[in-house]
Amino acid sequence: MDASAIASSPLVLALPTFLLTVLLQLWLDPPRVFTRLRCYHAATSAAAAGGGGRPVRPRGKKGARQQDSNDYDLGGAESLIVTPLSRRLVAQLKHLDAFNNLAMAGMAMLISLGLGQAAERLLVWPPSVLPPALAFSTVFAALAMLAKVDLLSDDTSPANKVLAATWGILGLGAALALHVLQPGNGRILAWDMQRAAKAVGPSVNGFIQAAAGKALQGRGLQGAAENIPQLSVSDSALQVLLALVAAAFAVLLFAPAQRFVRSFFLQLRPPEWAADYIAPRPLPTAGLALHFLLPALTALLWVRPMLQELLQLPDRTLSVVQAGALLLTAAAMGANQRTLLQRYLDRALTGWHQLKHGSRAARGTKDEKRTLGDVIRVHCQVTNHLLGKAAVQSLGPAVLYLNLGLLLLHTVLHPAAEGSSAMETQVLLQSCIGFLAFWTGACWFLYCAVLLWLFRTGVLQP
């Protein structure tokens, strides 16, 4: 095997990518994001009497009025114990493996792209197919992890699964309508499905011929690879395929958006009695506001009159701006992990307060009080136990944006000659990435805006 064949082999880049990813995983230790988070446990009678943590004491006018009700005998659950989350408890979290897999996939994509660029610049190697292939597969891996913790998990209620499936059906219809009613054939929205569909056949055939040529090299059968029949795909077939993918995005983004809005609403409107525990600072609140708005602003970059025609940007510059916006959105979402997870854990505190002071059982018979205490205890345990699920739903959208951004950036860094087959392949990739990025931002903003309005108006309880 000559040097050029070695340089073009994806295995040459795959091995150091894997080794560096494992080392970075060990050094960064993604589960560290959970440690020292504040979690809540319903006290037993012994714990309430003898300590074991910092007990919750409401403050403010409302909290002062409720101090008299702290003598409810709920079997110890009338008090909460606040403790930092330990590494031992982190190791027991459900869905922790899915969180680690998501983090590892994101790091592998970053490392593969960095190594690929270093090999091209320093060693003058040809572009490797590993970074785009890894980014493409990681997008679907992120969707698979979100499906694992939501649709395929036994801790998701059937009602929530039906609701998510309903959003998927509506999303399929909306995506098909967007394709059919797309104005301007790429002049308004920055993707061209007709040209992309024409590029599918040559792109697939070129890949098959290149792979077959390498496999038959040295056997005297190189010409056989040129006799592969030409594949053709209609634009309607590509539109239906992308609409199905968009429906999957619509299904799997609903639960993360709902989880985010609950945490964001608690950050914006913490209860007065919990001011000692939920004290939002301006910087995390601004970060969550960016988490809410950036996907919508990024989606608008694929509406040509909003930016390209306004600033007279060439297509390549527009692609650079779009890739940067996707990566910025991923970074903003990733930076909010601890804030979102802490607000998720704080729901154990607000749930305890609501059950204790809003339930008639707290003033009922001794058996009713004991049953209420058990309910409170289970509520706190389940909230803590499903922290891993909340982490996957928080990290999943960030990984989606990261890989879409890196995939688009890779096409920008390797411009192809106009009229070449490589150029048509890039048009196909950029059209698919543009549609999915626009769709992801539209779904995220629509879900979050509607849920936030329902919470603010009191139609739904956060």
Query: What does the pLDDT read at residue 257?
Result: 96
Radius of gyration from C-alpha coordinates of the chain: 26
Query: What does the pLDDT read at residue 303?
Result: 87
Query: What does the pLDDT read at residue 343?
Result: 95
Query: What does the pLDDT read at residue 47?
Result: 47
Amino acid at 122: L
Q: Domain boundaries in the chain?
A: 3-191+244-457
Query: What does the pLDDT read at residue 57?
Result: 60
Each residue of 288-332: pLDDT tens digit?
999 999 999 999 999 877 777 777 888 888 899 999 999 999 999
Query: What does the pLDDT read at residue 67?
Result: 47
The pTM of this model reads 0.88
Question: Which residues of the chain are modeled with pLDDT < 70?
Answer: 1-10, 45-73, 182-186, 201-232, 361-362
Max CA separation in the chain (angstroms): 91
